Amino acid sequence: MPKSTFFTGQPVFNQLLSLIPRSGIHLLSKKYQSDRYCKRFKAYDHLVTILFCCFHQCSSLREVITGLQANAHRLCHLGVNYTPRRSTLADANKRRDAILFEHIFQAIYRHHYGSLPDSLKGHKLRDRLFIVDSTTISLFCDVMKGAGTFKLNGKRKGGVKAHVLTRAKDQVPCFVHLTAAAQSDRLFMPMINLPQGSVLVMDRAYVNYKKMSEWTQSKITWVTRLSTWLRYEIVDDLQVSKHHRNGGVMQDSIIQLGNPDTQQRNPIQTARLISYHDKANNRDFLFLTNNLTYSPLTIAQLYKKRWDIELLFRRVKQNFQFHNFLGDNENAIKIQMWCSLIADLLISIVKARVDKHKKSKWSFANIAGLIRQHLGTYIHLLKFLLNPEKAILQFAQEAKHQLPLFPT
């Protein structure tokens, strides 16, 4: 087991903060001038404060500040010298650009999971599989442009949409882009940069002829469902074996994908259309891909993996507080969302380290609940998760041999 940066003499919160490269925060705050005109409440203090809010699921500024004040004797371990005022925190949420926290999230991911998705280390299909999708969080005030139908009063609730790219084997976001809820999913596609040999699975809302053609030229496999408005022409019908027909494959065709009227801008490309019947749910699907070598059942199984990202969305929404935000402006909302993603990433790192050395694995919800209840407890988090009984006995023995402060 590699040398740990966790120490028993530090609270659980500080053990989690030790996973964040502190020097990177200083460089990022200097790059984006996040500490300009700030006398005391620096970028790192801001990060620690919002992470405290995320772990404890605080719903108001007063709850965050009073919670920090109740833990004032532990702030020295966290590298924070004082607790801010509510007005100071509110002003910082409005003034300090959320792009700082976005790059802090990327720095943590790069530090613990290698580089961002621009290189591949494994050759297995699961190591090369990426999933992209979006999820929307409704807001109770019309801060960001909402999506959906209008209400009787002619208004729509504001909402923030998170466009997420994740690697299937890690189950953590590797690239996130936050927009208003009304933003189209297709605008996220040009931001996706994947290495050669990747396999990308996406919903049918992500359709961009030009980007899909670029992926094909870069030898990137993409799998999606056929949208009703897509233009295509069947060129050849491939033979479907008996094994594949028993598995649900009804038809396998080579098509020319694209609109002839716009082929000067978006050239027509060769693709593959697979008709599949799901016997379990009695549903028919039309899968679209640029891969001409994978078996049709493999394509169907790859698209089924797309639902793994829905488990990621549910995990984040269930374990972090998105019902109330600390500010009513777009920047404050984005800061809280980025810090929630950072908190989710820190817990995922801890869980991954524990799972490597423990046969019976902890669930994410149990670890998140344990951290929430014992954020200020002085106990070795990794040792406790690996063997709770042994860790408690060792902690009791160490406390027993400590010298009393006022000997009798």
Backbone angles phi, psi at 260, to 5 degrees: -60, -30
Contacts of 285 (CB under 8 A, 6+ apart): 225, 275, 276, 277, 278, 300, 303
Distance, CA of 400 to chain centre: 42
The residue behind tokens 């943590």 is: 108
Written as one letter, the residue type at 235 is V
- pLDDT at position 1 is 44
User: CA 94 to CA 328: how far, in whole Å?
Assistant: 9
pTM of the model: 0.88
Give 306-334 pLDDT, tens digit per residue: 999 999 999 999 999 888 899 888 999 99
User: Cβ(59)–Cβ(321) under 8 Å?
Assistant: yes
Q: What is the edge-to-edge ordering of all strands in the sheet holding 232-238?
A: 173-180, 159-167, 129-138, 199-202, 221-225, 283-289, 269-278, 249-257, 232-238
Q: Spell out the domain ranges in the chain.
A: 12-96+326-400, 102-312
Residue-by-residue pLDDT tens, the chain, 408 positions: 445 444 457 889 999 999 998 888 999 999 999 988 888 899 999 999 999 999 999 999 999 999 999 888 788 778 887 889 999 999 999 999 999 999 999 999 999 987 655 556 556 888 899 999 999 988 765 666 655 555 555 555 568 899 999 999 889 999 999 998 888 888 899 999 998 999 999 998 888 888 999 999 999 999 999 988 888 999 999 999 999 999 999 999 999 998 888 888 888 999 999 999 999 889 999 999 999 999 999 999 999 999 999 999 999 999 998 888 998 889 999 999 999 999 999 999 999 999 988 878 899 999 999 999 999 888 889 989 998 877 666 656 655 555 554 555
pLDDT at 283 (0 to 100): 93
- Token pair, residue 48, equals 């620690």
Q: Which pLDDT belongs to residue 153?
A: 55
Eight-state DSSP code of residue 118: S
Task: Supply the angle between the helices 43-56 and 86-95 in degrees, to the nearest 10.
Answer: 110
* Contact indicator for 206, 223 with CB cutoff of 8 Å: no
